[in-house]
Amino acid sequence: MSWEQYDRLIEHLALQLHQASADFDQIVALSRGGLRVGDLLSRLFERPLVVMAATSYSGDDERIQGKLKLGHQLAHTCDLLGPRLLLIDDLVDSGNTLVEASAWLKNQVSPTQLLTGVLWRKAGSAFIPDFWAMELTENPWIVQPFEHWEKLQPGKLMPMR
C-alpha cells in the first residue's frame, strides 16, 4: 500500500463521516494502528485527539494476534471527555480490539454516543463499525506504508548530508 492509497482511504472515511453528519467531541485513536488515522481526522474535523493504547500482535513481523492489552488510562489534554466520542482504528480484523475498547470507554467514560470507524473492515469480523473506508471479503495481510520502519535498525540509518 502506498502513502497515496493510504491517504485516499482516510479521505474516504472522512467524507463518510461528513456526509453522515457524524457529530463527536473528541476522536479516540487506538494506538498504534489508529494513531495516524485519528491524527488526520482530528486535524480535518478540528476535534481534540485522545489516545488509547492497545496491543495484541507479536512474533515475527508482528503478525500473530494474541491476548489484547489495553492501557489503564487515556492520553489527552481535554478538560472533560465526551459526551460524544469517535473511536478510530486502522482496521477491524477479528473485532476483539474494538469490542474491548468500546466496552472500556463505556465503562470508564460513559459517553452518550460512541461511534466507531476504521479504514478496513474484514468481512469475518465479529464487530461491525459504524464507518469504514473499504470492506475486504478475504482476510489479506495489509502492508501499510509505514511498516518498513519495523524492519529498520537505528544503526543502519544514513545521516542527512
Give CA 136 to chain center in angstroms: 17
Per the structure, how many domains does the chain have? 1
- Residue 105 pLDDT exceeds 70: yes
Per the domain annotation, does 161 fall within a domain?
no
Per the domain annotation, does 87 fall within a domain?
yes
Per the domain annotation, does 121 fall within a domain?
yes
Residue 131 CA to residue 110 CA, distance in Å, equals 21
- Residue 161 pLDDT exceeds 70: yes
Residue bearing cell 463499525: 129
Q: Tell me the pLDDT of the chain averaged across its residues.
A: 89
> What pLDDT is stored for residue 66 in this prediction?
63
Instruction: Identify the residue with better confidence: 154 or 26.
Output: 26
Q: What domain range is 101 assigned to?
A: 3-153
Per the domain annotation, does 93 fall within a domain?
yes
Per the domain annotation, does 44 fall within a domain?
yes
Residue 137 CA to residue 125 CA, distance in Å, equals 10
For residue 135, report the phi and psi dihedrals to the nearest 5 degrees. -100, 135
For residue 107, report the phi and psi dihedrals to the nearest 5 degrees. -80, -40
Percent of the chain beyond pLDDT 70? 94
- Residue 67 pLDDT exceeds 80: no
Per the domain annotation, does 160 fall within a domain?
no
> What pLDDT is stored for residue 60 in this prediction?
56
Percent of the chain beyond pLDDT 90? 62
> What pLDDT is stored for residue 58 in this prediction?
53
CATH label of the domain that carries residue 43:
3.40.50.2020
Per the domain annotation, does 90 fall within a domain?
yes
